[in-house]
Structure 1
Amino acid sequence: MSDGMDFLKAIDIASSGLRAQAGRIRVISENLANADSTAQAAGGEPYRRKVPTFTSELDRKLDAHVVGIGRVKPDKSPFRTKHEPGNPAADANGDVKYPNVNSLVEMTDMREAQRSYEANLNVITATRRMIQRTLDILKA
């Protein structure tokens, strides 16, 4: 019955990929939601873009490496600055800092995360079909 266990392992491994990509999409959506926000205090720092990381973890129960969402790290790149003297978030020079979020980069990352999510979903779907076919053969 090791083939049946291999099928279940494949589903569990692909499920870890689904969870990791869902976590990545959550971080991307937070970045996009805050792309145009400003600091609450004059001259303060706005939202800083977050970057998800992934980890490879040995699942001893499965005896396989699975992926997990790792630490979410701040992007250290500089903030965008605009000269807007009337803005309440402006510093003494009239400059306002905006998040270091580039919507085009976030959308590209979102599409990549979506493709990875769909690939893992396809593994689960194909594996379930193979299990069903095996059961159909055994019933006959």
Structure 2
Amino acid sequence: MADLFGVFSVAASGMEAQSRRLRHVSENIANADTPGYRRKTIDFQTAIDRVTGLTRVNVGPVTLDRAELPRIYDPGHALADEQGYYDGSSVDRMIEIADAREAGRSYEANLRMFDQARQMSQGLLDLLRR
């Protein structure tokens, strides 16, 4: 029974990590047209829970994309320099959409694992009640 509760913990850590990833992806998409905006990413790290001995997912720090920002020519833009250029955003919408889909599917997989463990524990409790 304790192993089933460990599955809850592992699945919940995976769902939390993917929900944070989705939050950063949505921030990136919302700021795709913001001049000077740098894409945010997070890294996942594994950590062993000392109580259960199970491997969980932890979210690492938020990092900003270090790629050079694209220079956009628009002399009428308020941020344009004397040559008519300003720094664009480092967000690529196609990459963000792919990341959002991957995070969503990973979240759903963890949710299914959580639900399976819940059903198994419920079945075990039902057997013990008989």
TM value normalised by structure 1? 0.89
Q: Quote the residue 2:99 is aligned against.
A: 109
Ranges in structure 2 where 5+ consecutive residues have no aligned partner: none
Report the CA distance between 1:61 and its aligned residue: 1.6
Q: Trace 1:20-35 onto structure 2 (pairs within 5 A).
A: 20-35=17-32
Q: Quote the residue 1:72 is aligned against.
A: 62
**Partners of 1:61 and 1:30 in 2: how far apart?**
35
User: Out of 1, 4, 7, which is 1:7 matched to?
Assistant: 4
Equivalent residue letter for 1:98 = G
Q: Quote the residue 2:45 is aligned against.
A: 55
Ranges in structure 1 where 5+ consecutive residues have no aligned partner: 39-45
SS for the counterpart of 2:104 is: helix
Q: Cα deviations across residues 74-110 of structure 1 (Å, max 9, x unaligned)?
A: 1112212221001001112101211110011001000
TM value normalised by structure 2? 0.96
**Partners of 2:42 and 2:119 in 1: how far apart?**
33
**Partners of 1:21 and 1:62 in 2: how far apart?**
22
**Partners of 2:79 and 2:22 in 1: how far apart?**
29
**Partners of 1:13 and 1:24 in 2: how far apart?**
17
1:82 aligns with 2:72: yes
**Partners of 1:91 and 1:60 in 2: how far apart?**
55
Report the CA distance between 1:134 and its aligned residue: 1.0
**Partners of 1:54 and 1:92 in 2: how far apart?**
42
Q: Cα deviations across residues 45-65 of structure 1 (Å, max 9, x unaligned)?
A: x11111111111111122111
Q: What stretches of structure 1 move > 6 A for 4+ residues in a row? A: none
Q: What RMSD, in angstroms, separates the aligned Cα atoms of the two structures?
A: 0.9
Would you say how many aligned residue pairs link Structure 1 and Structure 2? 130
SS for the counterpart of 2:72 is: strand
Q: Quote the residue 1:19 is aligned against.
A: 16
1:99 aligns with 2:96: no
Percentage identity across paired residues of the two chains: 38
